[in-house]
Chains A and B, each alone.
Chain A
Amino acid sequence: MGLFVAQLLTGLANAAALFLVASGLSLIFGVTRIVNFSHGSFYMLGAFIGYSLMQVLPGAIGFWGSILLAGLAVGLIGVVVELLVLRPVYKAPELFQLVATFGVILVIQDLALMIWGAEDVLGPRAPGLKGIVRIMGEPVPKFDLALIAITPFVLFALWYLISRTRVGVLVRAATQDREMVGALGVNQSWLFTGVFFLGAALAGLGGAIQLPKGGADLLMDFNILASIFVVVVIGGMGSLPGAYIAAVLISVLNVFGVAYIPQSTLVLMFVVMAVVLTVRPYGLLGREEVAGEHGQVGEPDKPIKPAGWMARIIVLIFLVALGFLPFVAEPFFTILATDVIVFCLFAASLHFILGLGGLVSFGHAAYFGGGAYVAALLVNYANSPMELAFLLAPIGAGLLAVIIGWLCLRLSGVYFAMLTLALAQLVWSLVFQWDEFTGGDDGLVDIWPSAYLSDSTAYFYFTMVFGIGGILLLRHMAHTPFGYALRASRDSVRQAEATGINTKRVQWVAFSIAGAFAGLAGGLFVFSKGSIFPVELEIAKSFDGLIVVFLGGVKTLSGGVVGAAALTLVQDYITRFEYWRLALGLLIIAVVIIAPKGIVGSINALFRYRFTRGGDEVKE
């Protein structure tokens, strides 16, 4: 009994920082609809700033003062980010802002490295709360009790702010219908800035308050990201009490998981999330999405049309030129080009569901890595010939997408995105944990192509055939009746259904096709690298895909491919420099601000502007 109580208290204490950070994310999302990937970076900054302040300010007052000041400072940093980076892109297509926040992550990573150095720092202990008290014979750290006591106060203060003040009324109104709030004469910009301040400050507080239980390091931004997304989704996006309940639920379950199923540490959280979303699709206390809020906002899309003969000739010339690459360039460039094509195919497959289907998948790496693992496992265990393994890669990934698609498509919008993320994490942890079969983190190696493809030039042509073939096929599908049905399902479910389209089935098929093509990319990848590791299934890989699709232009047909090629080439070049993350982050932010329609979208707009100068196209 004593141990049970002690474990419960540990869980409650762990929930504190998690709740603070997650509530900030939830607030920001609720009001601004921005999925803030850089929220983990605010948490990290809170920890580092809090640490630095605690070195200067003495005693208990200094300690708690440092935590508050760290929150304040991070809140102000949040304001700077909002004003400089996000405000220029509010009008961009939905979720485009997440690309900008990704740039912010990179910038903050390098700045933190410059300021605080590479070494981890251990947080100071809380003055006066260093020891333990015995509760029913079990030791419980005093600081844990302090955390347990503080969290409800924070929750209460937030609740009061949101439900009893004028600011809160506006925030709630904006959460439900921000256009209406704007129409009623509320200055939305400052409301957004204010909410960003509060959200970032909460993340900073969370980072600073966990210092006595750990410290600050340069990996903590990404390490907390998955768990706070899970908490926000389980609680219901935008719901603060929901975030609290979810944080407590996850933390307490985790403590018991550690005690009774020690191997469960990786998956538990995602299993809980998958179960909750299956039973309550909008989280514990979340509300159903307001219809029309998701899918497409802003002006309706122009109808797509097949490329004109001019464009076809240009692409043909480009492909022929690419085919001659091995004859004119150094051997390394064929290897680089192989990498680029593989990533382009991956991006094109994501773009297929994201751009045409309006289905935001946060877990697309599962099919890329899934395909690669199918091929690698076949080679490793069945000694199957490379050709067979390669053929089964897209099929295996497609089947995975059929299953995950069936589970996820009962949800929509951000909840759909989050469930794809959770299930992709399940796949990742399965591969990561099942060492006997998948090799775990040490992966599967020596997966090389057949002898006739072992030369990198031969493999380059192989990649060209399947990679570019796959990209063209995906593009062709956009112009088929299926592609039309898919876009109809994206733009208006009601009208599409009224014309006899089974929207869910169309989306399900599209999701599976996208998975299969991602698997094809994975198959190409594994034989070009000779090895596969769980990192290819990670969230970061899924994010890479999302970023290039948005960067290229989600509302264009070739956006994914162009974005992928651009990012791979820039990255190849820029990582040669010392502070490449800073440079890449700034570059991404610059592109986001200069070209809010994505690279292709903005070039298109530029052309249209030229040809119809003074015409009705000019909006800027």
Chain B
Amino acid sequence: MNITRRWLLAGVTALFAFGAGSVTAQEDSIKIGEINHYKRMAAFAGPYKLGIELALAEVNDAGGVLGKNLEFIFRDDQGKPGEAVKIAEELMTRDGAVMLTGTILSNIGLAISSLAAEKGYVYLASEPLADSIVWEKGNEYTFRLRASTFMQASMLAEQAAASGAKTYATIAPNYAYGKDAVAAFKKALLALQPDAEFVTEQWPALFKIDAGAEVQAIERAKPDAIYNVTFGGDLAKFVREGTTRGLFEGRKVYGLLTGEPEYIDPLKDEAPEGWTVTGYPWYDFTDGSNKAFVDAYLAEYGERPGIGSLVGYMTVQSIAAAITRAGATDADSLIKGFKGLDVETPVGKIHFREQDHQATMGAFVGTTAIKDGAGIMVDWEYKDGADYLPSDEEVAKLRPSK
């Protein structure tokens, strides 16, 4: 028992000592609260954080913003929306952050966006894709950087409409993102090609795909083309079973996000060939700002950038530009700073739209191929996000009135 007590005491003392040692933030800097699922989605959040740090170094070397250093406070939300809301409050009320950013998962993005509107915090949703963040659930305080589900699905639908395929099968994880992605693709495709027909829709449980069964079910429907939304481990299993069983032979396949390095790299030499996908062909840039970013990233970290790296980098660029434009860091000024903001980024100039706070960052669309034992995109093209958004009237209908 005595030993036990001594252990307990030692443990408690150690814990407090640990706490005293934690760093307090620099006083004369502008702080941004960055919330993400650093552990739960390590493969995506890691490159994203590196992208942020690269851009921060550049911004601060160039004199910072408003004469101060820009600083990010990184916090892990364990992948739980409730936790993210608590951390957001702490960042804003205790750590002195002037605005919030981050999240990959859409549900957490929505939770923070709702808090932002309630408490009057500015939030830049950097990576979450859900359309509702800027539309049905959009609010005055929330902005979004990355091309949304709707925009990326529309880019693929455009390619699909040009292919001549008539019958389609869809396969998407059985949750909000998958359903949005299928609905957006259907809507865009039917607008371009009214006689397109969807012969089967498959909904595997997220990260629990029964790939053999899914492939058999799609094969049974004999579609001309397949629209794939699965990602991560599900994608790997689907591709392997599909290739083994000959599902993709003679069929066009459209893959949302499939060409992003985070998703295609793990497939190595078994990456699907000839799929039309959205992604990020970092290996293929020969000049311009895209190349400059990739080179700087490779020089700094010695590992390949992912799409997350690009988004992280652009997040810092957008925030720095907005603060500079606003001239102050209170919420009202920041909103003015973001609305209608133009930012020069690696992919070109992007614009934060006034009508729905969506940035016009686009996506790279191309065809998958294998080179040196790795999946890549060839014949790719950068599609400007501005061309894949609904009309202003439609957007006005989607967004809640103030």
Q: Which residues of A are interface residues toward B (Cβ below 8 A)?
A: 3, 6-7, 10-11, 13-14, 109-110, 113, 118-122, 125, 130-132, 138-139, 141, 144, 212-215, 217-220, 223, 227, 251, 254-255, 258-259, 262-263, 265-266, 330-332, 335-336, 339, 432-433, 435, 439-443, 445-446, 448, 454, 456, 525, 529-531, 533, 535-536, 572-573, 575-576, 580-581, 590, 594-595, 602, 606, 609, 620
Residue contact B216 to A3, C-beta cutoff 8 Å: yes
**Which of A219, A595, A620 has the most C-beta atoms of chain B within 10 angstroms of its own C-beta?**
A219
CA distance A332 to B75 in the complex (A): 15
Complex contacts, B295 vs chain A, CB 8 Å: none
Residue of A nearest to B175 (CB): A441
- Whether a CB of chain A sits under 8 angstroms from the CB of B123 is no
> Which listed residue (A259, A332, A572, A581) contacts B220, Cβ 8 A?
A259
Residue contact A120 to B232, C-beta cutoff 8 Å: yes
- Whether a CB of chain A sits under 8 angstroms from the CB of B58 is no
Complex contacts, B213 vs chain A, CB 8 Å: 7, 10-11, 14, 254-255, 258-259
Residue of B nearest to A581 (CB): B39
> Which listed residue (A132, A590, A606) contacts B11, Cβ 8 A?
A590
Complex contacts, A581 vs chain B, CB 8 Å: 39
- Whether a CB of chain A sits under 8 angstroms from the CB of B106 is yes
> Which listed residue (B89, B137, B237, B268) contacts A446, Cβ 8 A?
B137
Residue contact A259 to B217, C-beta cutoff 8 Å: yes
> Which listed residue (B79, B90, B179, B236) contacts A332, Cβ 8 A?
B90
Complex contacts, A7 vs chain B, CB 8 Å: 213, 216
**Which of B85, B106, B217 has the most C-beta atoms of chain A within 10 angstroms of its own C-beta?**
B217
Residue contact B216 to A533, C-beta cutoff 8 Å: no
B48-81 with Cβ < 8 A to chain A: 75-76, 78-81
Residue contact B39 to A445, C-beta cutoff 8 Å: no
Residue of A nearest to B263 (CB): A120
> Which listed residue (A215, A262, A456) contacts B202, Cβ 8 A?
A262
- Whether a CB of chain A sits under 8 angstroms from the CB of B241 is yes
Give min CB distance, A574 to chain B, whole Å. 9
Complex contacts, B237 vs chain A, CB 8 Å: 213-215
Contact sample, A vs B, 16 pairs, CB 8 Å cutoff: A7-B213, A119-B262, A119-B266, A120-B233, A130-B244, A141-B241, A227-B208, A258-B210, A258-B217, A259-B220, A262-B217, A331-B93, A445-B111, A529-B82, A530-B114, A580-B39
Give min CB distance, B130 to chain A, whole Å. 6
CA distance A581 to B93 in the complex (A): 26
Known contacts A266-B205, A448-B118: A336-B86 contact under CB 8 Å: yes
Give min CB distance, A37 to chain B, whole Å. 17
> Which listed residue (B79, B130, B214, B220) contacts A442, Cβ 8 A?
B130
CA distance A217 to B220 in the complex (A): 30
Stretch of B1-9, B309-317, B340-348 with 4 or more beta carbons under 8 angstroms from chain A: B1-9
CA distance A595 to B1 in the complex (A): 10
Residue contact B89 to A262, C-beta cutoff 8 Å: no
**Digit string of B206-250 for contact with A (CB within 8 Å is 1, else 0)?**
011011111011001000000000001100110011001110000
- Assuming A439-B176, A443-B110, what are 7 further A-B pairs, CB within 8 angstroms? A119-B262, A141-B244, A214-B233, A254-B213, A332-B90, A435-B179, A594-B8
CA distance A304 to B215 in the complex (A): 60
Residue contact B94 to A214, C-beta cutoff 8 Å: no
**Digit string of B390-401 for contact with A (CB within 8 Å is 1, else 0)?**
000000000000
Residue contact A531 to B85, C-beta cutoff 8 Å: yes
Known contacts A529-B82, A531-B114: A120-B208 contact under CB 8 Å: no
Known contacts A119-B266, A254-B213, A609-B1: A530-B85 contact under CB 8 Å: yes
- Whether a CB of chain A sits under 8 angstroms from the CB of B43 is yes
- Whether a CB of chain A sits under 8 angstroms from the CB of B380 is no
Give min CB distance, B5 to chain A, whole Å. 7
CA distance A144 to B241 in the complex (A): 10
- Whether a CB of chain A sits under 8 angstroms from the CB of B288 is no
CA distance A262 to B215 in the complex (A): 12
Residue contact B211 to A214, C-beta cutoff 8 Å: yes
Residue contact B114 to A218, C-beta cutoff 8 Å: no
Residue of B nearest to A144 (CB): B212
CA distance A110 to B76 in the complex (A): 14
Residue of B nearest to A599 (CB): B8
CA distance A130 to B243 in the complex (A): 11
- Whether a CB of chain A sits under 8 angstroms from the CB of B148 is no
Complex contacts, B211 vs chain A, CB 8 Å: 213-214
- Whether a CB of chain A sits under 8 angstroms from the CB of B367 is no
Complex contacts, A445 vs chain B, CB 8 Å: 110-111, 113-114, 137
CA distance A530 to B240 in the complex (A): 42
CA distance A212 to B241 in the complex (A): 10
> Which listed residue (A13, A139, A336) contacts B245, Cβ 8 A?
A139
Residue contact A220 to B118, C-beta cutoff 8 Å: no
Complex contacts, B81 vs chain A, CB 8 Å: 443, 529, 531, 533, 535
- Whether a CB of chain A sits under 8 angstroms from the CB of B22 is yes
**Which of A10, A14, A131 has the most C-beta atoms of chain B within 10 angstroms of its own C-beta?**
A10
- Whether a CB of chain A sits under 8 angstroms from the CB of B302 is no
Give min CB distance, A135 to chain B, whole Å. 12
Residue contact A443 to B111, C-beta cutoff 8 Å: yes
- Whether a CB of chain A sits under 8 angstroms from the CB of B201 is yes
Residue contact B207 to A223, C-beta cutoff 8 Å: yes
Give min CB distance, A425 to chain B, whole Å. 11
CA distance A445 to B400 in the complex (A): 13
- Whether a CB of chain A sits under 8 angstroms from the CB of B140 is no
Complex contacts, B130 vs chain A, CB 8 Å: 442
- Whether a CB of chain A sits under 8 angstroms from the CB of B265 is yes
CA distance A13 to B245 in the complex (A): 15
Residue contact A255 to B216, C-beta cutoff 8 Å: yes
Complex contacts, A442 vs chain B, CB 8 Å: 106-107, 110, 130, 132, 176
